[in-house]
Structure 1
C-alpha cells in the first residue's frame, strides 16, 4: 500500500479538513492526535505499517486535525467539543452509518465523547494512550509550554525526547522537524491547554460501546496505572498493556498494537450465524485449541499472570487470546464468556 490520495471536506464550522482512506471493508476512523499531517505521516514507515495493518479487512479513514497538517490552520475554537463536531462532520461527509473509532493521545477523548453521545453510530471504540487531563497547574506541562513558545525548535526537540524515549539524537531531531511541519507552537500550546482542562469522567461513565483501552506498559507520558483507571471507569472496557515505552502508536512494536486492535475489532458472530448452544460454538472451531485452554483456566478463576505462567507464554499473549475469545463469542468480559460456555460464573465469583 504505497499511495494515498488526500481529499478535502467542509465542516459545519466552514473549515477545510484534509482526509484520506485506505483499504476496504467496515470503516475504522483514526481520530487524529495532538497534531497531524497526512502527507508527512505517510512518509513514516511506522505510520504506514500501522494504517496498512488496520486496513487489513477495514476501510481506514484518516484526517488532519483542525488547525494542523493540511487542514485549515486557522482555528479559534480550540475546545474538544469542536474536535467532536469535526469527527461528526467527517462521518457525515463519508456517509458512515456506523464505524469503529481509533483515538490516540488527544484523539482518544474526542473519540470517547463522540461514542458516548452517538452509541448507535460507533461499533467499537479503541482508546490508545489516553490521558484524562492533568489540569492547568501541571508543572511539567507549564515548563514545556514556556519553552515551546519561547523557542519552537528547542521545545519540539525537548518534547520529542520524551515522546521517543530511548531514541537517538537524529531520530528525535527528525521527529521535531516533522512536528514543526504539522503545526505552529501557538496552536500546539493552545490545543494542549484546552485538552488538560477537559473532564472526560462523565463520558467514561456513560459509554456503552465495546471499548479497548490500550497503551504501552512503560509509556513515559501515560502510566499503566492511569490506563487501568480509565478502563475501570468505562463499563464496557477491556484493558491491554503492551510491552514497550513508545507513546506514539506508530513507534516501537507497531505489529503488536495492530494485532491487539484487530483482535478487538473482529466482528462477533451473529446468533443466526451459528448454533444456539454456545458450548457447540467452541466445538465447531470458533475457538482455537489454545483459546479453549485459556477459557478453561479463566473459568477456574486463574488470573492472566497465572495463566501465562501455566502455559509458558506472556501476559500480553494471554490478553490477546482473551480478546479473541470475547469477540468470537460476542460477549463483553470474562464472566459473560464463562457463562456462555459453561452456564455458570467463574470460580473466583462463586
Structure 2
C-alpha cells in the first residue's frame, strides 16, 4: 500500500513535495552504525586472510606437524576465538558470510583432525552453537571432545583441568585461559547434549580457578598457578589472561541462565565486579587501552586485552551484572575508542601481543612481540559486535 498520499486536484490546498522513500531512508541512516559495520567486516576479512609471511609464528611439533597459529587454515585456540567472534556477529546481525566462513572452517578442519588439548578444545564452543541451531551435525565431535575433557584430560590436584598444550603438559598447572578455551565449551556441550554432569563440572572448574588464580588484594587474576611448588610463577597480572575472565564470566552466567539469587551467580558476579573495579582504575586515560602487565605502566599498551575488557564490561552492563554507573560506561567507551583507533585501514587490529606462556618473571611478558593474530581480530570483533547492540 502506498503510504505517500497525493493531494487531490479538487482540494484547494497548496501542493506539498513529499520525500521519496529513498530520501527518507537516507536521512534515517545512523552513520556511526554504518561505519561500525564496515569496520567489523574489514576485521573479518583480515581475520581470514592473515598470513605468516616469515614463518616466525609457526609451531613445529615432535611428530613433524607444523601448526600455523597465525593463518586461518589451522586448528588452535587462536582459531577458536575467531570462530566465536564470527558466531556472535552472525547471531546479532544475521550476517550469512560470517556463518559461511565458520561452517567452511569446521568442514575442512574436522576432515583432518588434530591433537586434543586445552587450546584445541576452544572451537568446540562455536561448534556446539552451530549444532544446536541445526546449521550442521557435529554430534560425534561434540561427544568425543567433551568426553575427553571430562574423563581423559590431565588433572591437577583437586581435579583442576591441567593446561596441556600442543608442546607441553604444564604439569599441575592452572591457567586463567582455560576457562575460556575448555570450560565454556564443556558447559555449552553439556546443555546441547543434555548432560548435566558436564555443566556441573564446568561450574566446579570456575570455582576452582577462582580459588587459585584470583588475587584477593587487587581483584585481578594471576596468569598461572602450579600445585608443584604451590606458587604463581612471576605473579604477573597479565592483560590478555585477565580479559578471558572478563569475557567468560558474563558468557557463563548468560549461558547457564543463572537466576539473580543463585549462589554461584552471586559468587561469579562479585568476582567479576572486583576485577572490573580494578581495571577501571588501571586504564590508560589517554588511549583507553590497558598495559600488557596491568599494574605496570612501563609495559606496552595492548589492544587485544583491551577489546576483551570492552566486551566484558559492555556485556556486564547489558546483563545488569554491574550497575550502570558512569565510571563503567566511560571505561567501556574509552576502550572501544582505543580499539577503533588501533584498527588499520586494512582491518588489522594492531598492538596485539603474540601467544604468551606463563613466565617466571614479569619482564619476560614485556618482550612478547606484537603481531596481527586471529584472536586479536576476534576480540575486536566481539567488542564491536557487543557495542553494535547500542544501535539496534
Common fold: TM-score over 0.5: no
Bigger relative contact order (CA 8 A; separation at least 6): 2
Higher strand fraction: Structure 1 or Structure 2?
1
**Structure whose CA Rg is larger:** 2
What is the TM-score with the length of structure 1 in the denominator?
0.30
What is the TM-score with the length of structure 2 in the denominator?
0.28
